[in-house]
Amino acid sequence: MTAIPESHRYLLDAPVATLSTIGPDGRPQSTVLWFAADGDTVKLSLHPARQKTKNLIANPVASLLILDVENTGKYLELRGDVTIEPDPDYAFADAFVTKKYGLDLRVIDGDTAGQRVVVTLRPTRVNAVDMGR
C-alpha cells in the first residue's frame, strides 16, 4: 500500500500538510507546514530548533496528512520513517521550497541561516481517502 493513487496525486501540490510526530512525552504532536513532493517521497525543510525537528531526530517516524481544502472529505495520509540530512548550502531549500513557494528561507532564518535540515519521508503506508461528500 505504498503507491499514491492517481486520484490523490494532485494533493502533492497542495500548499500545506499536517505533520504528526511523537513528542518527548510519547504523545502525538501535529503541526501545519510546507512540503514538497519528490517522486514518491515527501520532503520537508525544517529548522533544528523547532520541536517537530527534535521529535523526528529522537524518533524518526511520522504521518503526513494532506487535506483537500476545497473538498474536506478527501485527503491523503502518508506514514513512514524519515531520514534527516543537513542542508547547509540550501540546495534542497532552493530546489524545492523556493521553486514551490517563491520564498528564500535564508531570509526567514536570518541569524540561524545554514542550520536547516531536509527531512525525507518514505511512505510505507498510504491512505487515500474520499468520503464522497
> At 59, is the secondary structure helix, strand, or coil?
coil
- Interface with a copy of itself includes 65 (CB under 8 A)? yes
8 A C-beta contact, residue 51 and residue 10:
no
State how far the Cα of 98 lies from the Cα of 81, in Å rounded to an integer.
25
Single residue of 16, 49, 58, 91 touching a copy of itself by CB under 8 A: 16
Nearer to a copy of itself, 89 or 93 (CB): 93
- Interface with a copy of itself includes 49 (CB under 8 A)? no
- Interface with a copy of itself includes 129 (CB under 8 A)? yes
Residue 79 contacts by C-beta under 8 Å, 6 or more apart in sequence? 62, 63, 64, 123, 124, 125, 126, 127
Single residue of 72, 91, 99, 114 touching a copy of itself by CB under 8 A: 72
- Interface with a copy of itself includes 32 (CB under 8 A)? yes
